[in-house]
């Protein structure tokens, strides 16, 4: 595996949930992610998920 980009979705109001999941995935891969994204159920309700996904795609597209 050359590079990894990771994302997490979660229903928690706390962003710590996503950060912990992303950190654990990096540990399992043995690599630092070139890009990460987390989307919560709150993001979905507010419509913030689309911009987050777009930014994530741009962030990892150079790899």
Is the pLDDT confidence value at 13 over 80?
no
Asked if 53 and 25 touch (Cβ cutoff 8 Å), the reply is no
Domain containing residue 10: 5-61
pLDDT tens column, 25-57: 999 999 999 999 999 999 999 999 999 999 999
**Domain count of the fold of the chain:** 1
Rounded mean pLDDT of 2-22? 88
Burial 37-46 (b: 16+ CB within 10 A, else e): bbbbeebeee
Check residue 63 and give its pLDDT.
Answer: 78
- Report pTM: 0.83
> What is the pLDDT at residue 44?
93
């Amino acid at each position: 595996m050359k590079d990894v980009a990771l994302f997490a979705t979660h229903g928690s109001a706390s962003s710590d949930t996503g950060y912990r999941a992303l950190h654990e995935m990096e540990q399992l891969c043995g690599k630092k992610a070139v890009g990460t994204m987390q989307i919560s159920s709150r993001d979905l309700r507010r419509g913030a998920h689309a911009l987050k996904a777009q930014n994530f795609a741009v962030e990892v597209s150079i790899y």
